[in-house]
Chain A
Amino acid sequence: MRRVTTPRLALALAAALAASSAAGAQPAAKPAAPRERKPEVLIEARPPPFSEGIFPCMECHKDQKDPKRRELGFHDEQQSVFDHDAEHRWCLDCHDLENRDMLRLASGALVPFTESYRLCGQCHGDKYRDWRVGVHGRRVGMWDGQKTYLLCASCHNPHSPGFKGVKEIEVDGKTTIAPTLEMLKPMARPRRPEEMRP
């Protein structure tokens, strides 16, 4: 009767097991040198529109040059929600007294509404710097290439800038984002395991 040659069997078994494990070896290779970076193309999203009929502002404000802080008789849509440091700030801190179609920086320099982020960035510099590199705020598109960024006013109502909610709107046939005064409603909660029956 042949004696069972245990060592040979063990070797054969080990070889078989090694062979089958080699087939599915874990990839340990780290990617080599950093690759050639694709140029980052940044596209600006369309800003939310002005209130109906409000622009250009100079049509009404040609002759209105009173710089004193007061309760306004008009612009109730903005005034009623205004809480942008309301204790210390009011309209003419950001809107230029002489040219209401422009915004004014602290230095007195004027910026158009299309560059309103420069105005926000004066006081909110850290957010501005983060936003410039994509750390603050939403971007859509390619992590590796062309992407669309939003403006401050896309998500923050300048007159009540604390984030509450956003919604999709149509501007010139294109979908873009606008801030809302209502907070977001969460989507449906997940099903509990006991609610998932065959």
Chain B
Amino acid sequence: MSGIVDFVRGCGRQVLVGGRTYKAWVAFLLATMAVGAVAYSRQIRLGLIATNMRDEVSWAFYIGNFTFLVGVAAAAVLLIIPAYVYHWKPIKEVAVLGELLAISALVMCLLFILVDMGRPDRLHHVLPFLGTPNWPASLLAWDALVLNLYLVVNLTLVVYLLFTTYRGRAYDKRIFIPLVLLSVPVAISTHTVTAFLYSGMAARPYWNASILAPRFIASAFCSGPAVMVILFQVLRKTNELDIKDEAIWKIAELMAYAMFLNLFLLGAELFKEYYSATEHLLYTQYLWTGIGEHRTLVPYAWFSLSCSVTAFILFLIPRTRRHYLTLNLGCLLIWAGVYIEKGMGLIIPGMTPDTLGQIYEYKPTATEWGIAAGVFGTGFLVFTLLVKIAVPILVGTFRAPARPGATAPAQPGLAAH
């Protein structure tokens, strides 16, 4: 028991101690969280009228961010599969960082759902025993289950791996590997369930397409790992974490293939809409060319597409993939492109024009920006703190106090034989 208390205390020390850059970064994140808290208190007081959502566009910025972040969370799978299914050593050592990203992204997802709810005080109504979840018909009830399940699986994995490594022991394969392998279908299911939430709505023809679920997976796999690629380079420089170039390049290569699939599926959708040219074309038109004078989303749509295509090319060509300037540029571009495509570029055209043909052009309010900044700040802070704890454990500088009869500190990430 005291071992756990020591571990918790040690973690506390890890996060409270750091250089100037670290402290400035944490202070910045705390400031954004404060902004978010102030904005959220305004929203609680006034109601969701503090946003620009109205009956015509009843899901917008918060849900857009949520959708994008579910993809980021699922992207940890892109590291798990090569690491634990194909036992590719260069990634295996750092796969846990992908899980940390997943946890942070999931925290942000759950927070975005919470701030979007009209009655967060009734959240328990969707839980079994305390409430009456609508099984199995409601996709949101499924989403609540799989998101929390994915969070629990990842937390269990991460805490188990880090704690055992901290103790200088190797993890037990029989516990760890099944959980890791479980996290793969759970990750795919979080994203698929979220896609089904949209594609099941017959009332919204833009979403009511079978292609939505595959597109979600493709865009998740190409955007999520972008953070990892940048993070690995940062950690390599600031810590003794040995991350091989091959690991980073391989991730970028996989992202290129995922982006190709994403662009192909986009092309397939555009063909179907423009060729058949039914009334449903209106929603696609609103996004890419506008309807009449209503053109708010058009520049964002084309910007997003150009970012995605450029990033695809940069990742595809080995020379630009291996050059760190173009690699990092590609990561930023892919995040920008997919953030727009999966966020506002998915939600707003689904609701514009509305079910009775009326057009309301939505733009987020300052309150929405503030709350979103606060949620992102929270997620980034969670990620920062987790990495600040995890990296010293992996590197070997954060270990349990020496005990009589303890074995020598094991290498991070190695299984017991």
Direct contact of A and B (CB under 8 A): yes
- Asked whether A17 lies within 8 Å of B54 as measured between CB atoms, the reply is no
A11 at the interface (CB under 8 A from B): no
Most chain A beta-carbon neighbours within 10 Å: one of B128, B133, B175: B128
User: Closest approach, in angstroms, between the C-beta of A4 and any C-beta of chain B?
Assistant: 8
Interface residue B185 (Cβ < 8 Å from any Cβ of A): no
When chains A and B are docked, how far (Å) is the Cα of A21 from the Cα of B133? Answer: 6
Residues from chain A with Cβ under 8 Å of B132 in the complex: 20-21, 23-24
Q: Which residues of A contact B135 (CB under 8 A)?
A: 17-18, 20-21
Chain B residues within 8 Å of A86, by CB:
none
Confirm or deny: A173 has a beta carbon within 8 angstroms of a beta carbon on chain B: no
Number of interface residues of A (CB under 8 A): 17
Given contacts A20-B133, A198-B49, contact A193 B360 (CB under 8 A): yes
How far apart sit A194 and B55, CA to CA, in the bound complex (Å)?
Answer: 11
- C-alpha gap A4/B56 in the complex (Å): 48
Q: A193 with B131: in contact, given A1-B172, A198-B46, A198-B50 (CB under 8 Å)?
A: no
Q: Which of B46, B175, B360 contacts A192 (CB 8 A)?
A: B360
A193 interface neighbour in B54, B129, B133, Cβ under 8 Å: B54
Among residues of A, the one whose C-beta sits closest to the C-beta of B43 is A198
**Cβ–Cβ < 8 Å partners of A3 in chain B:** 174
**At the interface, yes or no: B75 with Cβ under 8 Å from chain A?**
no
What are the residues of chain A within 8 A of B46 when measuring CB–CB? 198
Query: Chain A 120-160, CB within 8 Å of chain B: the 1/0 string?
Result: 00000000000000000000000000000000000000000
Judged by a CB distance under 8 angstroms, whether B306 is at the interface is no
Task: Indicate whether B394 reaches chain A with its CB closer than 8 angstroms.
Answer: no
Question: Does A187 touch B at the CB level, under 8 Å?
Answer: no
CB neighbors of A among B148-190 (8 A): 172, 174-175
Given contact pairs A193-B55, A196-B54, A20 touches B360 in the complex (Cβ within 8 A): no
Using a Cβ cutoff of 8 Å, how many contacts connect chains A and B?
40
Q: Contacts of B55 on A, CB cut-off 8 Å?
A: 193
**Which of B54, B131, B172, B361 lies in contact with A20, CB distance below 8 A?**
B131
Instruction: State the CA gap A19–B129 with chains docked (Å).
Output: 8
Residue numbers in A under 8 Å from B210 (CB-CB): none
Q: Mark A31-73, 1 if CB is under 8 A from B, else 0.
A: 0000000000000000000000000000000000000000000
Chain B's closest residue to A194 (CB) is B360
Residues in B with CB closer than 8 Å to A16 are 128-129
Interface residues in B15-74 (C-beta closer than 8 Å to A): 46-47, 49-50, 54-57
Q: Are A20 and B56 in contact (CB under 8 A)?
A: no
Q: How far is the CB of B416 from chain A (nearest CB, A)?
A: 12
Of all chain B residues, the one with the shortest Cβ separation from A193 is B54
Nearest-neighbour CB distance to chain B for A111, whole angstroms, equals 47
CB contact under 8 A between A20 and B50, given known A193-B360, A194-B360 = no
Least Cβ distance of A146 to chain B in Å?
36
- Complex interface: chain A residues within 8 A of B47 (CB): 198
Cα distance A16–B129 in the bound complex, in angstroms: 7
Closest to B365 in A: A198
Q: Nearest Cβ distance between residue A183 and chain B, in whole angstroms?
A: 25
List residues of chain A with CB within 8 A of the CB of B134: 21, 24
Chain A residue nearest in CB terms to B360: A193
Q: How far is the CA of A32 from the CA of B46 in the complex (A)?
A: 47
Q: Which residue of B lies closest to A23 (CB)?
A: B132
Most buried by A among B57, B132, B175: B132
A residues near B57, Cβ cutoff 8 Å: 193
Cβ B129 vs Cβ A20 within 8 A: yes
Q: Please, how many angstroms separate the alpha-carbon atoms of A23 and B136 in the complex?
A: 14
In the complex with contacts A24-B134, A198-B49, A17-B360 CB distance below 8 A: no
Most chain B CB within a 10 A radius of its CB, from A193, A194, A197: A193
Interchain CA distance A197-B53 in the complex, whole Å: 10
- Identity of the chain A residue whose Cβ is nearest the Cβ of B182 in the assembled complex: A6
Q: A193 CB to closest chain B CB, in angstroms?
A: 4
Question: How far is the CB of A23 from the nearest CB of chain B, in Å?
Answer: 5
Enumerate chain B residues within 8 angstroms of A18, measured Cβ to Cβ. 135
Query: In whole Å, how far is A12's beta carbon from the nearest beta carbon of chain B?
Result: 11
Cβ-neighbour of B128 out of A1, A20, A192, A198 (below 8 A)? A20
Contact of A17 among B56, B128, B174 (CB under 8 A): B128
| B17 CB to nearest A CB, Å | 34
Tell me the bound Cα distance from A193 to B351 in angstroms. 14
B179's nearest neighbour on chain A, judged by CB, is A4
A196 to chain B minimum Cβ distance, whole angstroms, is: 6
Pick the 7 closest A-B CB pairs, nearest first: A193-B54, A24-B132, A21-B135, A20-B128, A193-B360, A198-B49, A16-B128
Q: Could you write out 14 A-B pairs with CB less than 8 Å apart?
A: A1-B172, A1-B175, A17-B135, A18-B135, A20-B135, A21-B132, A21-B134, A193-B54, A194-B360, A196-B49, A198-B46, A198-B47, A198-B49, A198-B50
